[in-house]
Amino acid sequence: MWGRQSTSLIGSPVGVQYAAGSRDWPRSRLYAVVLVERIEFVTTLHTVGSSRACARRAPYSLGILLVIMVVLAGLVAGCEDDSLGGPAGSSGGGTATTADGGAALFPMATDDGLYGYVDPNGVFAIDAQFRAAMPFSEGLAAVQTTDGLWGYIGVTGAMLIKPAFQAAGVFSEGFAAASTINANTQTERYGFIDTKGEWVIQPAYAMAQEFVEGYAPVSDDSGGYWGFVNTKGKLVIEAAFATVDFFHDGLAPAMNPDGSWGFIDTKGKWVIEPDFAFVGAMVDSLAPACNSDNLWGYIDEKGEWVIEPQYGYAFPLSEGLGLVLTGPDSDRKWGFIDTKGEWVIQPRYPGAFQFSEGLAGVMLDKEASLFGYVDTAGTVVVKAAYNAPAAFKGGLARVEIFGGDDKGWGYIDKAGKVVVWTKADAPSE
């Protein structure tokens, strides 16, 4: 998850997530999907570097985030996480709890476009004063001040790390990736800071992501390849992969320069050979994978098919359910399966999001491109009203309406009640 000085997009080409006021990389393992007419744009969130979702989908170059679009309006939504792969986690409008487990704080804008943080009741706990704001993580949140630089505040709103960075990531395992301009080369370089704002891993990389399980993806200047550093700053896995994902239970999805996918261990060795057109994160011992026929199924930790390839697309498990695409090309729909491949919610949605906190955003009105939320039984809990629904976190979800008198964005609770709303422009590129 990232905040940047400029409004340019960075790093991963696979999906988007908003920090309030700027684009960010979620550390989420939730995935957004869109209208099946635009399936060529569907990709998972949180993969680092360039990728291709399957053989029929065009590869994307490093340094570009793919904006996932819905027909008519262009759906841009957070799903997590953070970022492609890993266990299901936080996402959406940038929800975060305090370091001591206190009330959640949510980045929010006022009508004048400045950002602060609201509590679960929609009341500003930290006054709107920033150009952009990101979720709290480990008691700190990156904010962009009016001079364009990023620093970090604490849960009281006090600036604990002075604004000095071109880009600022979320804290994870005591570190945050951040960037600065190298005085000699005048190029942007990424390293890692501690909670005091001190460089603990010097800014020497073309790009970096956050630490997960003690390893962080980093990219050098050798054509945009990716490897991993450990918390001591040692490059333990050479930058030899076109794309990598975070480690989860000791395995990380990785893509060879030739476009083939598999899983590596913490030494950079192939545990599951790169025999797939694409793979997603290994969650609960299952990972979505795409074969050479462009069909998706799920493999286990040995690379064996547990759910045979049969879907037009499949996403990593979230809350025990897999979101999959099925049906003929002329009428493809999304539904949810369990770990045995049995339908839990029949495929009936032209667009859908993965489950978070027991609810999933699904397209209920295709003509108007409107989403609502359903529970794990497929019962509509929040009616179709929003063009861009995000995942629930801390009991709230960020939603957006693209046009009309109600244009704007804000947060709703699980009953669909609007907790806070603004007509300010939504975070955008």
Q: Where are the domains of the chain?
A: 2-422
Neighbours of 272 (CB within 10 A): 24
Q: How crowded is the C-beta side of 94, counted as CA atoms within 13 Å?
A: 37
Task: Please return the burial class of 259, using the count of CB atoms within 10 Å of its CB with bins 0-12, 13-18 and 19+.
Answer: middle
Calpha distance 135→1 (Å, rounded): 9
Calpha distance 191→173 (Å, rounded): 15
Question: What is the separation, in whole angstroms, between the first and last Cα of the chain?
Answer: 15
Tokens of 186: 């005048």
Neighbours of 274 (CB within 10 A): 18
Does domain 2-422 bear CATH number 2.130.10? yes
Q: How far is CA 61 from CA 11, 224, 266, 331, in A?
A: 9, 9, 25, 31
What is the model's pLDDT at position 4?
Answer: 65
Q: How far is CA 80 from CA 1, 88, 94, 238, in A?
A: 9, 7, 10, 26
With tokens 């370089």, the residue in question is 189
- Residue 37 φ/ψ, nearest 5 degrees: -65, -20
Beta bridge partners of 18: 23
Distance of CA 203 to the CA centre of its chain: 24
Coil, strand or helix at 47: coil
Beta bridge partners of 142: 152
> Would you give per-residue pLDDT tens digits along the chain (429 residues)?
667 643 222 222 222 222 333 323 222 323 333 333 333 333 333 334 333 334 333 222 222 222 233 322 233 222 333 322 222 222 233 444 443 344 589 999 999 999 999 999 999 999 999 999 999 999 999 999 999 999 999 999 999 999 999 999 999 999 999 999 998 889 999 999 999 999 999 999 999 999 999 999 999 876 689 999 999 999 999 999 999 999 999 999 999 999 999 999 999 999 999 999 999 999 999 999 999 999 999 999 999 999 999 999 999 999 999 999 997 777 899 999 999 999 999 999 999 999 999 999 999 999 999 999 999 999 999 999 999 999 999 999 999 999 999 999 999 999 999 999 999 987 753
DSSP character at residue 49: E
Calpha distance 257→192 (Å, rounded): 27
What is the model's pLDDT at position 399?
Answer: 97
Calpha distance 190→81 (Å, rounded): 19
The CA angle 165-109-46, to the nearest 5 degrees, is: 55
What is the model's pLDDT at position 16?
Answer: 24
Calpha distance 160→196 (Å, rounded): 7
